[in-house]
Amino acid sequence: MSETEPKPSEAPAQKAKHGANWFYLKVVAPLSVIGGAVALLVWVFDLVNTSNDPATRSDIEAVMGERVLVDRDAVRLMVLDTLAQQRGGALDGILPGEIGFLEARLISASAQNITASSAPMWQSAQLAIGRGDLAGAARETEAIATGQTGLQAAKGWRDAAMLYLVDDPERAIVALDRAAALQPDDFETQLALSRAHLLSGGDISMAWSAAQEAVGLAKTAEQTAAATLALGLAMQANGELLGAVDAYQRTADILKTLIRSQPETLQLQQVRLDALKRLYRVLNDLERYDEAGAALNHALDTAHAVHALDPTIWTKEELSLLLVWYGDLLHESRDDSTGARAAYLEALAIDESIALAKGNDALARYGLLFPLKRLVDLARFESDKPAQRDLYLQMLEIEIALNEAEPGSIWPSMIAFRYERLAGLGDADTQQYWAAAYNALLSEKKSGGLNTGDEEMLEYYAGKAGLPYP
């Protein structure tokens, strides 16, 4: 059997649910405004354009009997949740062209712009945002922008574009192009264009070009950092990894200088963390492990600083993720199993505290699977069968509880695979584990959701367990 986790190729769409949940818990949420690496584009909106940073209000008058969220954090969390529901997860980070925390913060800034207005013409768009209907809000905003002129129209087109990013990045580009035609020297528009072109999957060179425009339009160190990070994203997407390394390093250096005089500014710490994380991942891909390790050490230090400034569940999630990466680095490139285990155990302890804070139910404990998976891989590397057995049983307990609480949320093939691993340890319960693996897939077959690859595994498990193949 394969030494890697199974990846069912034909699983029903609804079974991607916990890919999205993981994405929300381990990537999007920890990188939201509440904590974690900030989405740089919206940070720039907040810092350099006061028209995009209206005074926060706890609520506005009920419109047509419905309350509209206008609290900054509440709007952003709503957008994050919408994003998590509309896409599956990327299990170890965010590629430059994917919807993620960067876009969530950007979308949220535009949502805040719209919900902050008391003008009657914005009521329909506000209601759409309150329902989480970003595309509907985008259409309403686009209609309003069509009837406006000058800078006000440019702002409207820019806001409409941001709300289109989730469902229709191509339409977002059209709206941003209209904004750019009205305001060609607008820094935020060029920065947003760079991201939209990456998301559209079209001509990636356009993302690079727009980022270069943003670099040229930058007037402050903060803007230069933002544009340089966007340029790094475009370079990475174009396969120019060396250029991306330089861009991410320059971004981190600019922010390091700014932080010296503003150590308590959370946004600066968050953006530096973002740049350092991306720097680490590219250096690791380039197998420049010593430099990657240095970047990751700086990222961990920065993550601790972020958590000190913003001690929330979300910043704890960030720390846990970085500790898992650090353990990977120690194990894979430095052959330091002891250090790797310490990092994974620290991540596990953090995730345990997060689960307790969230009520310790099945979903709250889902995040524990990631450090547990790393620990079991380490135990397999060291041929430590007792540790493997204990860790697989812990993982099974979480996965079975989650599947019982939300049927279909975990692939039965994953549960079967854990039992297969336990059976492979060769203890007295081997046949029991083969039977459990068989039954996990059999229940899926009876529900009509078994894919072709898992059908073959069901036959394999039946043979191992001495049970009939249905």
The range of the structural domain enclosing residue 444 comes to 412-470
Lowest mean pLDDT among 13-22, 158-167, 282-291, 409-418: 13-22
Residue 249 lies in a domain: no
Contact of 255 with 225, CB cutoff 8 Å: yes
User: Whole-number mean pLDDT of the chain?
Assistant: 79
Residue 153 lies in a domain: no
Contact of 469 with 441, CB cutoff 8 Å: no
Confidence of residue 85 (pLDDT cuts 50, 70, 90): low
Confidence of residue 133 (pLDDT cuts 50, 70, 90): confident
Q: Which of 162, 195, 22 is nearest to 92 (CA)?
A: 22
pLDDT of 132 = 80
Give CA–CA dist 58/75, Å, rounded: 11
Q: 220-259 b/e with 16+ CB inside 10 Å = b?
A: eebbbbbbbbbbbbbbbbbebbebbbbbbbbbbebbeebb
Residue 212 lies in a domain: no
At residue 370, φ and ψ (nearest 5 deg) are -75, -50
Tell me how many domains the chain contains: 1
pLDDT at 452 over 90: no
**For the chain, counts of helices (H) and of strands (E):** 21, 0
Neighbours of 266 (CB within 10 A): 18
* Range among 130-144, 193-207, 335-349 rated most confident: 335-349
**Three-state DSSP class for residue 219:** coil
Question: For residue 242, what are the CA distances in angstroms to 90, 104, 238, 252, 329?
Answer: 24, 27, 11, 15, 20
Taking only the tens place, the pLDDT of each residue in 29-84 is 333 322 222 222 333 323 233 222 222 222 222 222 233 344 555 666 667 666 65
The more confident residue out of 314 and 17 is 314
Percent of the chain predicted with pLDDT > 90: 50
Lowest mean pLDDT among 154-168, 200-214, 401-415: 401-415
Give CA–CA dist 200/344, Å, rounded: 36
pLDDT of 1 = 40
Residue 170 lies in a domain: no
Identify the helix (H) or strand (E) that includes residue 195: helix 187-200
Give CA–CA dist 205/341, Å, rounded: 42
96, two tokens: 């430059």
Region 255-260 average pLDDT: 95
Residue 334 lies in a domain: no
Residue 442 lies in a domain: yes
Q: Which of 365, 339, 341 is nearest to 353 (CA)?
A: 365
> Max CA-CA distance within the chain?
77
pLDDT of 363 = 86
Give CA–CA dist 137/124, Å, rounded: 7
Region 205-225 average pLDDT: 94
At residue 419, φ and ψ (nearest 5 deg) are -65, -35
Contact of 362 with 401, CB cutoff 8 Å: yes
Question: For residue 101, what are the CA distances in angstroms to 73, 176, 183, 242?
Answer: 14, 20, 26, 24
pLDDT of 129 = 86
pLDDT at 18 over 50: no
Residue 404 lies in a domain: no
pLDDT of 189 = 94
pTM of the model: 0.74
The more confident residue out of 103 and 273 is 273
pLDDT of 184 = 94
**Tokens 């994380």 belong to residue:** 277
Give CA–CA dist 134/99, Å, rounded: 14
Contact of 320 with 347, CB cutoff 8 Å: yes
Q: Residue 177 corresponds to which amino acid?
A: D
Taking only the tens place, the pLDDT of each residue in 356-365 is 998 998 888 9
Residue 188 lies in a domain: no
Neighbours of 184 (CB within 10 A): 12
